[in-house]
Amino acid sequence: MNVPFRIARRYLWSRKSQRLIHLVSGISVFVVAAVAAAMVAILSAFNGIESLVEELFSSLDTELAVLPAEGRVMPAAWVDSLAGWPGVAHAGGVLEQDVVIRRQGQPQVCTLIGFDLNHARHTLLASRLRRGDVLRADTLDRPCGYVGLGVASQLRLPYGSDAPVTLTVAAPKRGRSLGSMRGQSLLDGGLEDRMVTRVLTICGTFSVNADIDSRTLVAPLDFAREVLQRPGEVSRVELVTAEGWTAAALRKEIDARLPDGLTTRTRREKNALIHATSRAEKWATFAILSFILVVAAFNILAALTMLLLDKRRDIGTLTAMGMTGREVRQVFSWQGVLINVVGAVAGIGIGIVLVVLQDQYGLVRLEGAMVPAYPVVLRLTDVLGVALVVLGVGGAFSAAMVAYLVRRLAPDAG
């Protein structure tokens, strides 16, 4: 039987002789609970934001891609080759390069992404359409393209008339680049002979995020190859994993068989900077909240100080009964630990309830945003991390404070 623990538990739950001691102990529990609940809720909010960002930035990509280790393109024959490899459910070729687009007014540089309709169905592009009913490869016997909302706004594309909306899409001829034409009026002033120009019918708009919306044009792969003069070539081959396979397992299998000129890249690696920034913000916030535990620790210090002053007579009695100084210190150390445990359990429970309610009912709404409510994702690792930090910081601080307080306030028990 752990006598110090039983005595500490009695001190915590029994009515104190001083109401002020009871109040300070309650405040200490409340502060610890509030910090723990805030940690769980905020970490879950950052998880939700990270998941949302990953979903938004991956709307035009699959989870794994094979691309050249050097250079801009690779043979399109790799599309059919990779489609037959174990673990690959689908392989689609993607051709991507900057082009110049224009409709009546000034030309604009944007990124042309070309892939076929079958591959488009393996992305989230269809769910991101804002205008245009379904994805189509052609209309009116012309290639059919889709632009981001930002591009549509800058070009002032009309969607109320029955007349088809078309864009002029141009790319430098092979051996030239847009950079070499900087400072010149693109598509005007004699530059037509240096560009390959085609007309693309716009069948709709999509919205992924502000960055992609303002610079992206999606078109059929054959159209992109024609404008970019890349017959039989692709920028990368995007893969969809087969049932029973993970992206990590498929990547390991492919890396072992690819030649030196090709490499693999995950969707997360493509957006590594965004994910790194999100994680840095998450853990910086976690560190700031951890420092707030110091405030709770000072509340616990006040509670333990007042308890020691109130229980001096009890300490003398316990010492006379044969309890050692170490056991006396354990009594009040357990008192501090119990305050942290009760606060941590209550706070984590409250935090989990808040996150679940937000996930199910969207208590915090976002007006005019991509999602109707603030996204949250609850992860067990975050809950365990919060518990370890709260109990670790509080337990260590309590033990150190008790050792000091017992020596100062009850030297006979030291």
Please identify, among 223, 244, 270, the residue that sits at the C-terminal boundary of a domain. 270
Residues 118 and 246 in one domain: yes
- Classify residue 306: in a domain, yes or no: yes
**pLDDT tens, residue by residue, 275-320:** 777 778 888 888 887 777 777 667 777 766 776 666 666 666 666 6
Q: Are 82 and 90 in contact (CB under 8 A)?
A: no
**pLDDT tens, residue by residue, 214-223:** 999 999 999 9
Q: Indicate whether 387 pLDDT > 70.
A: yes
* pLDDT confidence tier of residue 92, bands split at 50, 70 and 90: very high
Residues 205 and 288 in one domain: no
Name 129's bridge partners.
206
**pLDDT tens, residue by residue, 180-230:** 555 455 555 455 667 888 999 888 899 888 888 899 999 999 999 999 999
Cα–Cα distance between 304 and 396 in angstroms, integer? 14
pLDDT for res 183: 46
Please identify, among 270, 302, 326, the residue that sits at the C-terminal boundary of a domain. 270
Please identify, among 217, 241, 270, the residue that sits at the C-terminal boundary of a domain. 270
Name 43's bridge partners.
none
Residues 279 and 396 in one domain: yes
Residues 211 and 250 in one domain: yes
**pLDDT tens, residue by residue, 242-256:** 998 998 999 999 999
Residues 147 and 250 in one domain: yes
Total domains present in the chain: 2
Cα–Cα distance between 96 and 114 in angstroms, integer? 6
Residues 226 and 280 in one domain: no
Cβ of 54: how many Cβ atoms within 10 Å? Answer: 15
DSSP codes, 243-273: TT--HHHHHHHHHTTS-TTEEEEEHHHHTHH
**pLDDT tens, residue by residue, 20-68:** 566 767 777 888 888 889 889 989 988 888 888 777 777 788 889 999 9
Residues 153 and 95 in one domain: yes
Residues 106 and 250 in one domain: yes
Cβ of 175: how many Cβ atoms within 10 Å? Answer: 8
Looking at the chain, the number of H-run helices and the number of E-run strands are 13, 13
pLDDT for res 240: 92
- Classify residue 70: in a domain, yes or no: no
Q: Tell me if residue 371 falls in helix, strand or coil.
A: coil
pLDDT for res 96: 93
Residues 235 and 91 in one domain: yes
pTM above 0.75, yes or no: no
> What is the average per-residue pLDDT within 258-274?
85
Q: Which domain holds residue 315?
A: 3-57+274-413
Cα–Cα distance between 219 and 226 in angstroms, integer? 11
Name 111's bridge partners.
98, 216
Q: Are 384 and 362 in contact (CB under 8 A)?
A: no
pLDDT for res 77: 93
